[in-house]
Amino acid sequence: MPYTDRKDYCASINENFGCCLAVEKLLGCEIPERADYLRVIMAELNRIASHLLVTGVFGLDTGAFTPMLHTFRERERVLDLFEEICGARLTYHYIRIGGVSQDAPEGWLNRVREFLDYFEPKIDEYNQLLSENTIFINRTANIGVLTPEVAINFGCSGPMLRGSGVKWDLRKNDPYSIYDRFDFDIPVGTGEKGAVGDCWDRYMVRIREMVQSVRIIRQAVDGITEGPIKAKLPRVLKVPQGEAYTRSETPRGEVGFYIVSTGEDKAYRMRLRSPSFCNLSVLAEISQGSMIADLVCILGSVDIILGDVDR
C-alpha cells in the first residue's frame, strides 16, 4: 500500500483508495460504513489540497505570484487536518485494506466543518485575484484547445476531459464506495472566455470542483455514523485466487488498478492505469502552432505528476 502513496504524491489518499478497492473486490469483504464515510471525507479533502496546489502554481506559470500564497495558505490547513488524523502531510497511507488506519480524533469532524466554513468564501477570492484577471485570461483563453474528440481518443480523463465539455466523472457515472449517496454536480468547460477546452476552461473546472468537494464533505460529515473503522481480516492477508480491475476518480482523472492473485499474500501481477500518462500524451497535439511562452501555460493546465506518469 505505501507504494501507492508515492505514485501520485499530491493525491495519496485517492491512490490508496483505488488500490484498496481492487484488493477488496478480490476479497469480497464488506467495509464498515464509518470507514466508507471517512474515506470519502479524506479523498475530497485531498482533491481540494491537490487543486489548490495546481491553481496556485498555474497562476505562477502565467506570471501571477500572489495567488499561490493564498492557495498554499488554505492547503496548509488541509494538511494540518491530515496530520491530525494520520500523522502525515504528504504520503498518508491512511486508507487500508478493509477500512482506514485509525478513527477521527475527538473534535476532528468539527474542525473539518470549521475549515469548510473558512475555505468556501476563499474561492471567490481566487476568482477575483486570478480567474477574472484580464492578463490571466489573455494568457489562457483560446490557448491549448483540446476538443472532446481528441480528448476521448487520447484517453484523457478528469479535469482535462471535463474541461473539453465532456460530462464524465466516475463518482457520478460509475459510482464506487458511497458516492451515490451524495448530491453534487460535475463542472465542465463551456468556453466562457474563449474556445471550449482551452487552458482557462481546464483551470476553471478545478476551481468549481473544489466547490463540489465542499458539498460532498459537508454531506459526509453530517451523515457519518458511529461504528468500527476496519473489517475483520487475518493479520497475514492471503487474497483468493483471481483477478480484479477497479477504477476511481483522482484529482488528475481516472486511475485503474488491475490485480492478479494466485492465492498468496502478495500480488502475482499489478498493473496501473495512470491518468497523468494519458493526459500528458496529448500535449504535442494541443501545442501545435503555439508560442513557447504558451507551452508553459498549456503544460501547467494539464497538471501532471511525474510519479503518476512513470508509475
For the chain, which domains are there?
2-304 (1.10.645.10)
pLDDT band for position 200 (cuts 50, 70, 90): very high
Give the Å distances, CA to CA, from 106 to 79, 109, 207: 17, 8, 31
pLDDT tens, residue by residue, 241-269: 999 999 999 999 999 999 999 999 899 99
C-alpha cell of residue 65? 505570484
Buried b (16+ CB within 10 A) or exposed e, 214-226: bbbbbbbbeebee
What was the pLDDT predicted at 221? 98
Does 235 score more than 90 pLDDT? no
C-alpha cell of residue 174? 460509475
Nearest-10 crossing angle of helices 292-302, 199-223: 20
What was the pLDDT predicted at 299? 96
What was the pLDDT predicted at 87? 95
C-alpha cell of residue 111? 474542525
What's this model's pTM, rounded to 2 decimal places? Answer: 0.96
What DSSP letter does each residue of 5-35 carry, written as one string? HHHTTTSHHHHHHHHHHHHHHHHTPPPPHHH
What was the pLDDT predicted at 311? 85
What was the pLDDT predicted at 237? 86
What was the pLDDT predicted at 261? 95
